[in-house]
Amino acid sequence: MNQRQKEEYLREYSILKSEGKPFFPYAVAKDAAMACVVMICIITLSLVLGVEQGSKVNPTTTTYVPRPDWYFFFLFELLRVIKPPSLVGLATVGIPTLGMILLFTLPFFDRGPERRPERRPIATATFVFVAIAMALLTYDGATVGTPTALNINLPTSVAQQGTAAVAKFELGREAVAQNGCEDCHDIAGNGNSGPGPELTYIGSRLPANAIGRTLANPTAPMPSFKNLPANKFDAIEYFLSQLK
Ligand code: HEC
């Protein structure tokens, strides 16, 4: 702030101060009234609508998909996209805390007198960036599938083979997710990178029948899947053979 801006500010401030009303009781009374309105709204809503408690807890469920409340979707998605286990601390605590600290210290390093958004390009750009990033993360977090669902696009070669092939591919993708293959295999960025080999391009390495042989008679620690229903077994074999 230069000398001229400072004087201008002090002049404006003294005018406002002589014209304005004191904080107590005027502003306090207004705030108190608004606080009462908000409280009455909350009490009325809770009496009329009640709290949604969801279904009863079932400790034996294996299909429950844990999800945070919507306003935490961006944090949830941040944790989901940052995959390496060593970076989990960064995603859960590091980045949000850093953001909070920066926000908290903002008034100390941004000391310019300007208040119009168009005259504060850095602040405005930062706000727009953060708002867009949070909106996108919230959207992605809200629309992700189950934790084990495979995020793999339909290859065009399969699409060209017709609807039966597409259905088989999709059944296979679902069966792979349901049978925990991702616990041991990385498939196009889904799942863990070991102890099993990456399967992203398994179709160009092994023909379908060889994949089937591995599924039925694997080497430990991979479990055998020969007792799966035949349609699922075939679908998994087909699905993997199309990953090229
Ligand atoms: C407990 C961990 C584990 C699970 C679960 C698992 N695998 Fe494996 N898989 C392995 C390991 C380890 C190997 C390497 C074994 C070997 O080379 O003989 C392997 C090898 C394979 C191979 C051969 C890869 C190659 O390059 O030769 C295929 C295909 C395969 N797995 C598919 C699957 C599918 C499909 C599922 C789920 C239905 C699955 N695996 C579940 C651990 C696992």
For ligand 1, atom 20: residue with the closest CA? 196
pLDDT at 68: 87
What residues contact residue 158 under an 8 Å CB cut-off, 6+ apart?
165, 166, 169, 242
- Start-to-end CA span in the chain (Å): 62
pLDDT tens-place values along the chain, 244 residues long? 788 888 998 999 899 888 888 888 899 999 999 999 999 999 999 999 987 777 777 777 655 677 888 999 999 888 888 877 788 888 888 988 998 999 899 888 888 878 899 988 888 998 999 999 999 999 988 887 666 577 788 888 888 888 888 899 989 998 888 888 888 888 887 877 778 899 989 999 889 999 999 989 998 889 898 888 889 999 999 999 998 8
Tokens 């070669």, residue?
157
Decide if 211 contacts 241 (C-beta within 8 A): yes
Ligand 1 centroid, distance to 197 Cα (angstroms): 7
pLDDT at 47: 93
CA-to-CA distance for 169 and 166, rounded, in angstroms?
A: 5
Of ligand 1's listed atoms, the one at least distance from the Cα of 228 is: 38
CA proximity to 66, closest of 134, 140, 146 = 146
pLDDT at 153: 81
Ligand 1 centroid, distance to 235 Cα (angstroms): 16
Tokens 């990385």, residue?
186
Q: Is the CB of 197 under 6 A from ligand 1?
A: yes
